[in-house]
Structure formats: C-alpha cells, structure tokens
Amino acid sequence: MKDQARSAWALVLLLLAACSGSNSPNADGGATTGGDGAPGGSTYDVTVTRTEMGIPHIKAADWGSLGYGYGYAFAEDNLCVFLDDLVTIRGERSRYFGPDGSYSIPAVPVTANNVDSDFFWKLMATDDVVAQLKASARDEVRQITTGYVAGFNRYIRELQAGEHPGRHATCADAGYLQPITEDDMYRRYFRLSIIASSSVFTNEIAQATPPLLSPADASSSASTDDVAEPDTAAARAALLAHPGPFAAFGPDKRLGSNMYGLGPDATQTGQSMLFGNPHFPWTGTERLYIVHLEVPGKMNIMGASLYGVPLVLIGFNDKLAWSHTVSTAYRFTLYELPVNPLNAKQYFYDGQLTDVTPVPLTIDVKQDDGSIAQQSRTLYRTQYGPVLELTISGIPVLGWDNLRMYTLRDANAENDRLMNQFFAWDTAPDLTTFKADHASILGVPWVNTVATGPGQDAYYGDLSVVPNVPDDLVSRCKAPLLSPVIASVAPGLPLLLGNRTDCQWLNDADAPAGIFGAEHLPTLERSDWVANMNDSYWLTNPAEPLTGYARIIGDEATARTLRTRLGIRQIQQRLDGSDGLAGTKFSYDDLKQIVLGSRIYSAELAQADVLADLCGGSGTDEVCAALANWNGTANLDATGTQSWIEFWQRVKGLSNLWNTPFSADDPVNTPNTLNTANRQVAQALSDAQTALDEAGIAADAPFGSVQHSGVHGDNGPSIFGSEGTIGAFTVADSEGLTDQGYLVDFGNSYIQAVTWENGAVHAEGFITYSESTDPANPHYVDYTERYSAKNWLRFPFTDSQISADAQSTVELSE
C-alpha cells in the first residue's frame, strides 16, 4: 500500500509539473528535443511500470522518451553512485573530495589517489573524444542519450525540491548534486570502452615524468654514459612478486563471467537455451541493472545494463538471447621508443626526431578550509597515445630515461562504435541479423559473445576490438630486452618497437583501421553447445577446438582454469547422464539447478587425497574432521567449505601441485592428482586451521553462517558460492577471511536463464545485489534475499505478464 500511495502521489506531482510546461535544459542550456516527437505536444512521454523486485519496464513511442524514462527510473535507484563516477571522469574528484581520497575501479582492479585520477581523466576523456563519440553515434543513440539526461535531471530537481525525503542520503546535500550533461554520458561510454586497457594504467600514465636532464644542461656524454640498460632480471622478479597493473590480465583476475549456449541437440525440448552470468563488482558503476526497454515496432528488449548505459548489454526477447564473458584478447599494445639522449622529450621514428606532445593540465583541489586551489601538471602523448612509467618496488620496469620511453596505443580509445553495436543488437529482428551486426560493426570492446534463438544453433564469437598485430609482426618488432619481462606476467601482450613504420598495426579490409576484421577472429556455431568461462576461445567446445589465431587474441593448447574445466564438465556430465539427473539432455530446470549448484572442482579433484594422505598430522584435527563430513560444495548448508577455501588458497599457486600434468589431448581432465608429497601442500592444511582459529570461525560451521553480502551492512544475506580460483563455477568473491567470515563484494551479478516456449521467450534470473544502491530504497536488498534462497524470478516480458505483476505505474511527461 505504501508503494501504491507513493506512486499515486508521484503521479499527481508529475501531472502538475507537466501542466507547468517546463522544459529540461540540455548540455548547452537549451530545451531538449524528443527526436521522433512524443504525443500530446510534450517533448517526452513515457510509461514506467515496476514489477516485482523493482524491475522497471519502460515503454515509449519515441527514442528520446525511452531514454527519459530510463534516466528517471535509474536515478530513483542509483543516483549517488552514478554521480560519483561522473565527478571522477570529469576530473573533479579533488574539487569535491579533496586530494587525500582515492578512486577505485574494482572491476580491473585499479586504485588511484584523487589527484592522479583527475589528471588521468583530464588527459584521456577530452572534449575532442566526446565530440568524436557524438559525431559517430547513430541518431537514435543521440536521442536516447539526450532523453536519459533529461529524465535523470528531472529526478535531481525533484530531490532538490524535497519530493523524495530520506532518499540518497550519501549525495542529497553534496555539492556535486547537479544536473548532468550529455558530455557526461559520452564520457561514461568512453570510460567503459577503456576499462580493460588504458584505465589499467591510470597511475602509470598520470605520474609519467620526463628525466630531469634537458638540452640546456646536458654534456656531450652525460646523458648516455650515466644511464644503464634496464636490469631485466630485477624487473622480472619485481613483476612476478608484484604484477602491478598487469594483475588485471593474470589468471587470478576477478573480472569474469560464465555463459552457456545450448542448441537443440542438447535440450529435452529441442528449444535452445542460454545461460549468462557476469562476475562483476558489487560496488561502483560496474554493477548491472535489470531493465526492459520498448518502443513498439522498433525495440523490445529486456536484460541488464552497466550503470549509465541506456541500452541493454546482455539480454533477450522473443527472437534471440545473448550474453558475454570477458575475453582474453588484449586491447592495446605497449611501445618502446628510443629517445634523443640530449632531449628525452624527443624520440626517433624512422630515423627522424619527433617531439612528444605536452598536455598542460590544471585541476581544482579542495583545501582543508574548504577553499579551492589549483594544481597543474604536464602529461605527454606520442603518436600512439599517452606516455607511461611503471616502477615496481623501486625498480623502473618501464622507465622514462635518456635512452627510452614507453607509450601505449589503445584500440578501444579509438572505438566510437560501442553504443551503435548494442543499439543494433537491441533492435535486431533475429539471430542472423545479430551475427551479421557482430561482424560488421566490430564495436564490442572487451568481451566474448554467446547467442542463440528459438530452435537455432548456439553461436560463439570473440568479434571484439583487438589490435591488428599478427604473430609475425610481433616476432619482427618486439622490444628485445623487456618483451620477455612483460610476457612473464602478461603472456601474449606485445611490447613493440615504436620507432619503425613497419611495426604499426595492420589494417583489414573488413574492419576499422588498426583492428582485426571478422575473418581473423574466432567464431563457432554448433547444434549442441558452446560455452566460455573466461579462458580463450580454444575450448569453446572440446569437440571442435578453435586454433590458428593471433596470440594477442588468446592462447591455444594450454591448461584451462578450474572454473572453465568445471563449466565444461557440467555440460558433458548432463549430456552423458553421469550427473545424477534424469535423462541425457538439459531441461530448463536442470540448467537452473546446475548453474547455481555451487560445486567446488578443486575438491572433486583433491578432497579424497587430502583426507587419505594429509589428515592425521598435528594441528589439523578440526579441519580434517570438517572436510571428512563436507559435501564438496559452497552451498549454505554445507559444513566445511571454509576449511577447504583456506587450504586451497594456500596451495593454488604452488609449482608441482599435480602429479599428472596438463595434456592438450585431455584438456578438460588434466592436470589432476594432488601431489600430497609436496611439503607445502601439507603445511597449507595446518595453516588453514590456524587462519580459521585466528578469525574465530569454526572449521565445520554451516557456510551460510560464514559468508554474507558485504555491501548490505551488518548481517547481510547469506551468499552461496566461492572464488573461481578454487574451482567454483557459482562465483562469490571477497577480500578474504575476516572475523566476520567472508564478505562478498564481487562475483555473480546479473543472471539469466533463457529459453523459448511456443514462440515466446521464457526467462528467469537474478540481480544478486538488488536493483538499488540506496539503503532507503525498498529494492536495496530484496533481490539479494531472493538470490540467497535460490528463488528464481520469472521475468515479465509481455504486456499481460507485466500488467499482472505490476507494483507501480507512472506516466512521465515533460
């Protein structure tokens, strides 16, 4: 009743506002336009119906109104988190929060202090970048963006007028609670494009400084004699101990996902099925948000978006469904440039000296007394992109001295097609068009894609933005000293010589300049299944390995992660009937049960060996007793899960962990057989007992009492699942064991299981952390509680389903 009363009162206020004839200002201060034009003389006219768990269904007659409804609904739920991100990418954190705070992109992860963050974004997200993105955007995308800004700003005006008391306490009185602009939105699109590339090097770019030596004070020999060649052994050791930004590309990276595409041959009904499950942060703007967008006759799509993106990025309708996982392909290359020894701000290119481009920047910095002072810094760019410096533990790994400098070229910093790609997919009439758009637009920034449609084959493609750097180019152009050093922590990432024309990226006829075309990127279609769990394309289906692609895209014939292996085994066991379920094909209920089963593959491989060979030693009685009664899962009723987690975290990186090594002839089942003779393995069991004792956590406590949401305050809902590095397919990640147990802040996020019945879509799923980040919002924790109970929600899609499940309906016009 409270929601109904609130909705009724909101409707009265909205109708009064509409009667006033007010218009929302756009970025230039003028009135917004609705593109196709909304009915009744209004610029915008849209219906927002919220169904169970607060999911907004946004229906409009034109693109501008669609964006308006989305902007307003999203602001209701997540105003402060999004504004915080916009402050960041404008380069204004120091202005509002002072110089001493920091900003993190947990998806990568990277953390920079406010000052370095501001200088980085001032350098990267420039007005020229915004102008290029606007100019390249489809007209429909521009209209949706304009409308989104107007709807978001309407909610800000209402909040400032006192219409939503108690909401958004974090920012309701903040100085940055101001209208957003269209430029803000395009900067947001840009930030998402470069999250897996330039953003990783925020600190290294923001702190890059030329050596002090200048032409005026240089002697004829001091600049060369006083600078030594890099100590590659020390650099390698430093990186292996502390990978720094390269941790974003390592096997233990947190950003990931699972997805299955099941074709007709793999299902009991003969209808295709799709499972999608990004593993993303539970904090910040890389959270996902469930939404349904409809412009009748033009778009009808439901699914999830990252915050601030007014299109569906993973979704479904009656004609198709798709999902994504983070790809192994690199989106950039590093370049080594020889510098003029008498002027380190010049580098050699084809034998000629070329000046770096200085970029003077100034930011506002809040002082202790509240006043604003300015701070300036000059950063530098080359023909490839920004100059960077990387120092690890005091060792200059990629230094800027009087011999060389380092820079990067980022293909996604040049990608102006992201929003066009997803608009095309959101409006695709069928799977055939979807696949054609994938190959022709090439705007997907950093993810693999799996898609299918009713009764159609399962499709996989890593048709994403990848620098056109074939292996032979890398062979002839790799920097000889430091390429092996970088390869030790980022295998496959090219460090190229940047002083030669023949080392520039190549061009394909079927692609934008500098990136691979579809002909050189991996795809696979099968009538049984395809899958990806963040390893490379190679084992999309082990029956048909994909090979022959450039190393920058991914590795081949190498060991897969435990999560990948379990993901494949779950499909294989379902199709050979060895998983204990009925039949030898997937039912829809089978799919839902399997993907949230919370199996731990490392335990399936090694639990018996631990109990047989390692238990009985001193200091392990409690852990061993717990493991003896443990069912090998991370379900809430499992007893002993935490004992295995603490053990496996201590052995997972050991050399000689397995007695049977990896074999490319049996990649799903190898390596295997735990090497219990390794003394470090035995010690890890004792250390696990110590860690649990110190945290005050019982070795055999039910897992539901040990692991909780870490984003919902004290006593957040219990969360099942565990980390992918221990072989969990159902992922729940934390910062490690505390005296409160594991506090989940990363992992399963948006989940969709999709099939079709009688030509209509049937989709169920979750948003694990709920739709809203505002504790005062009724949808702050409700979906998390539902997820904890594994209580799948049928997503209403048709008008009749939405009407039957409607919790509130608001007509917005302006």
Point out the residues that are catalytic.
257
Q: What is the DSSP letter of 515?
A: B
C-alpha triplet 129, 131, 135: angle, nearest 5°: 120
Beta strand pairing status for 372-381 and 387-388? unpaired
- For tokens 């897996």, the residue is 196
- The SS3 call for residue 690 is helix
Report the candidate in 314, 127, 86, 342 with the shortest Cα–Cα distance to residue 224. Answer: 342
DSSP string covering 714-780:
TTPPB---B-GGGTBSSBEEES--BTTBEEEEEEE-EEEEEEEETTEEEEEEEETT-S---TTSTTS
Q: Measure the CA–CA gap between 256 and 321, rounded to whole angstroms.
A: 19
Side chain identity, residue 771: E
> In DSSP terms, which residues pair with 666 in a beta bridge?
none
Q: Measure the CA–CA gap between 505 and 699, rounded to whole angstroms.
A: 54
Q: Measure the CA–CA gap between 689 and 699, rounded to whole angstroms.
A: 7
Q: How far is CA 455 from the centre of its chain?
A: 30
Q: Measure the CA–CA gap between 496 and 407, rounded to whole angstroms.
A: 10
Q: Measure the CA–CA gap between 569 and 546, rounded to whole angstroms.
A: 18
- The SS3 call for residue 32 is coil
The answer to whether 18 touches 736, Cβ cutoff 8 Å, is: no
Q: Read off the tokens for 634.
A: 């991370």
Q: Residue 701: CB partners within 8 Å, gap ≥ 6? A: 639, 642
Beta strands in 483-594 (DSSP E): 495-497, 523-526, 529-532
Q: Read off the tokens for 756.
A: 């079709």
From the number of C-beta atoms within 10 Å of its C-beta (0-12, 13-18, 19+), residue 759 rates as exposed
Side chain identity, residue 223: S
- For the packed helices 601-613 and 641-651, what is the interaxial angle rounded to 10 degrees? 90
Torsion from C-alpha of 734, 738, 740, 746, nearest 10 degrees: -10
Q: Residue 128: CB partners within 8 Å, gap ≥ 6? A: none
Q: Residue 244: CB partners within 8 Å, gap ≥ 6? A: 390, 392, 397
Q: Read off the tokens for 185.
A: 């939105």
The answer to whether 541 touches 533, Cβ cutoff 8 Å, is: no
How far from 356 is each of 269, 282, 353, 365, 398, CA to CA, in Å?
Answer: 62, 40, 10, 27, 17
Phi, psi of 328 (to 5 degrees): -80, -10
Report the candidate in 257, 106, 245 with the shortest Cα–Cα distance to residue 724. Answer: 257
Count H helices, E strands: the chain? 22, 33
Report the candidate in 154, 169, 130, 175 with the shortest Cα–Cα distance to residue 71. Answer: 154
Q: Measure the CA–CA gap between 231 and 607, rounded to whole angstroms.
A: 43
- For tokens 């033009």, the residue is 298
Neighbours of 228 (CB within 10 A): 8
Torsion from C-alpha of 674, 677, 683, 688, nearest 10 degrees: 20
End-to-end CA distance of the chain: 27
- The SS3 call for residue 216 is coil
